[in-house]
C-alpha cells in the first residue's frame, strides 16, 4: 500500500516511522512511487533502521491467531442513511498524552551525534515529539508480541500510542512498498494477532494507509475483498480493545473528491461504530492543515454514520503547505507542521499526529525511508 503523500498535482507519498518486522528488525519496505494522471498518490514507506526491538517476554506473549473461517465473496457494505449532524463543540478525542516510542531512527541519530551542530535543533524539534509506530511484516508469527511491546510501554507511562497497521494484500498496488499478506485469510489472521497485542489502554490505530484511496488498481472482486478485510479488521480491533480508536483511510484534500472518498469508506466499514472511529488524512503528505480540516469534515458529512465519528490529520511536514509544480520527493522549502496533539480545538478533528516522521527521506535527499539529518535540519530550523 501507500501512504498518501503528495503535492497539488503529482501527489506523492513517503515514509512512515518505525517499522518493526517479525524477526525483531525494522521492516525494509521502500517508498512506492506511482505514476498516474494528476493528482497522483504516492506511497507511505515505513522507515529502515538497523536497530532492533526485543519485546519483554512477560508483556509480549507469543501470538495465537484465531482460526480463520472459510471466506466468501461479499458485496460492498450498503451505505447507511446520510443525515445532518451538528458538529461537536469539543471533539471527542482520546484522553491523555501521546507516547514517544524509544526506538526510532531520529533518536538513534541524536544519541550517536552529540557534537553535530544540527543535533540540538533536530533533538528538540523532531526527536522530542511522539510519532507513530509502523507494523509492516505480514507474517503473524510475532506481531502480538511486537504490538504489545509498544502498547505496554505506553501504558506504563500513562500515554497513548499511535500504531499503524500496514500489511493488507496488494499493498501499494505493486509499487515500491509492494507486499502485504498473501491473501484475505492471511490478513485476517495477521489482524487477529495484531489486535491481541493492543492491550486494554487507549491506543490510536491508523488502519492501512492508502488502502481505500488507492484501491482503483484492483478489479471489482479485489476491491470487494479489500473492503471486506478492512471492515472486518476494524471490528476485530475494536472488539479486542474497546478503548482503541480506529481510523480509516481518507486519502487527502488533493486526491479524491469528498463524496467519492466517503462512498469508498462506507464500503470498508468506516461508517459503522462497530468498526470505526472515523478517518485519517494527509499521511506522508504536505497539504496544509486548514485544507485538510475542511476536507475531512466534508468527508465525514458525506460518510454518515454515528455523530461522533472524527478525523486525525498527519501534520508532520505541512507547515508551508504543498509545494508547487507537483513536487513530492523531499521538496525544498517545507517546514514542520503542528506538533502532535490530542487536543486540536477543532470540531470533529480528534488529533494532529506525526504519522510520517520528519527527516526520513522520500528518496532524493537520502536513501528512501532512511533518516537524513540535512533534510531533517532544513525542516526543523
Say which of 123, 314, 362, 378 is annotated catalytic: 362
Q: In the 3-class helix/strand/coil scheme, how is the chain assigned residue by residue?
A: CCCCECCCCCCCCCEEEEEECCCCECCCCCCCCCCCCCCCCECCEEECCCCECCCCHHHCCCCCCCCCCCCCCCCCCCCCCCCCCCCCCCCCCCCCEECCCCCCHHHHHHHHCCCCCCHHHHHHHHHCCCCCEEECCCCCCCHHHHHHHHHHHHHHHCEECEEEECCCCCEHHHCCCCECCCCHHHHHHHHHHHHHCCCCCCEEEEECCCCCCCHHHCCHHHHHHHHHHHHHHHHHHHHHCCCEEEEEECCCCCCCCHHHHHHHHHHCCCCCCCCCCEEEECCCCCCCHHHHHHHHHHHHHHHCCCCCCEEEEECCCCCCCCCHHHCCCCCCCCCCCCCCECCCCCCCEEEEECCCCCCECCCCCCCCCCECHHHHHHHHC
Active site residue 277: no
Grid look-up 486519502 returns 251
Say which of 123, 172, 192, 378 is annotated catalytic: 172
Gap between the Cα atoms of 175 and 35, Å rounded: 10
In sequence order, which residues have a C-beta less than 8 Å from that of residue 182 and are 6 or more positions away? 138, 169
Closest CA to 92 of 320, 300, 355: 300
356, three cell numbers: 510520517
Active site residue 249: no
Say which of 27, 170, 188, 210 is annotated catalytic: 210
Active site residue 108: no
Q: Is omega for the bond preceding 39 within 30 degrees of 0, making it cis?
A: yes
Active site positions, annotated: 172, 210, 362
Amino acid at each position: 500500500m501507500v501512504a498518501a503523500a503528495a503535492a497539488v498535482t503529482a501527489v506523492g507519498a513517503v515514509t512512515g516511522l518505525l517499522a518493526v518486522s517479525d524477526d525483531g528488525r525494522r521492516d525494509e519496505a521502500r517508498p512506492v512511487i506511482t505514476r498516474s494522471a494528476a493528482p497522483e498518490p504516492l506511497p507511505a514507506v515505513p522507515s529502515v533502521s538497523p536497530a532492533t526491538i526485543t519485546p519483554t517476554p512477560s508483556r509480549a506473549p507469543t501470538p495465537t491467531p484465531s482460526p480463520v473461517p472459510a471466506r466468501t465473496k461479499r458485496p460492498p457494505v450498503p451505505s447507511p442513511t446520510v443525515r445532518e449532524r451538528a458538529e461537536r463543540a469539543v471533539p471527542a478525542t482520546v484522553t491523555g498524552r501521546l507516547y514517544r516510542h524509544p526506538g526510532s531512527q531520529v533518536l538513534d541519530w541524536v544519541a550517536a551525534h552529540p557534537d553535530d551542530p544540527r543535533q540540538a535543533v533536530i533533538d528538540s524539534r523532531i526527536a522530542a515529539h511522539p510519532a507513530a509506530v509502523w507494523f509492516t511484516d505480514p507474517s503473524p508469527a510475532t506481531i502480538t508480541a511486537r504490538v504489545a511491546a509498544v502498547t505496554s510501554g505506553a501504558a506504563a507511562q500513562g500515554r497513548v500510542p499511535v500504531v499503524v497497521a500496514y500489511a493488507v494484500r496488494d499493498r501499494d498496488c505493486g509499487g515500491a512498498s509492494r507486499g502485504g499478506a498473501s491473501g484475505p485469510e492471511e490478513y485476517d489472521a495477521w489482524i487477529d494477532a495484531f489486535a491481541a497485542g493492543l492491550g486494554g489502554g487507549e491506543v490510536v490505530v491508523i488502519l492501512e494507509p492508502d488502502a481505500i484511496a488507492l484501491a482503483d488498481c484492483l478489479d471489482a472482486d479485489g476491491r470487494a475483498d479489500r473492503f471486506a478485510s478492512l471492515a472486518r479488521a476494524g471490528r476485530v480491533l475494536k472488539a479486542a480493545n474497546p478503548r482503541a480508536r480506529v481510523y480509516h483511510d481518507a486519502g487527502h484534500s488533493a486526491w479524491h473528491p469528498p463524496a467519492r472518498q466517503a462512498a469508498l469508506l462506507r464500503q470498508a466499514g468506516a461508517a459503522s461504530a462497530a468498526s470505526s472511529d472515523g478517518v485519517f488524512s494527509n499521511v506522508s503528505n504536505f497539504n496544509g492543515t486548514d485544507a485538510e480540516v475542511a476536507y475531512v469534515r466534508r468527508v465525514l458529512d458525506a460518510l454518515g454514520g454515528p455523530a461522533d465519528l472524527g478525523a486525525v490529520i498527519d501534520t508532520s511536514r505541512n507547515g508551508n503547505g504543498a509545494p508547487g509544480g507537483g513536487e513530492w520527493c523531499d521538496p525544498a522549502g517545507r517546514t514542520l507542521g503542528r506538533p502532535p496533539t490530542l487536543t486540536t480545538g477543532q470540531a470533529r478533528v480528534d488529533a494532529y499526529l506525526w504519522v510520517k516522521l520528519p527527516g526520513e527521506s522520500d528518496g532524493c535527499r537520502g536513501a528512501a525511508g532512511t533518516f537524513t539529518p540535512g533534510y531533517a535540519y532544513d525542516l526543523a530550523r
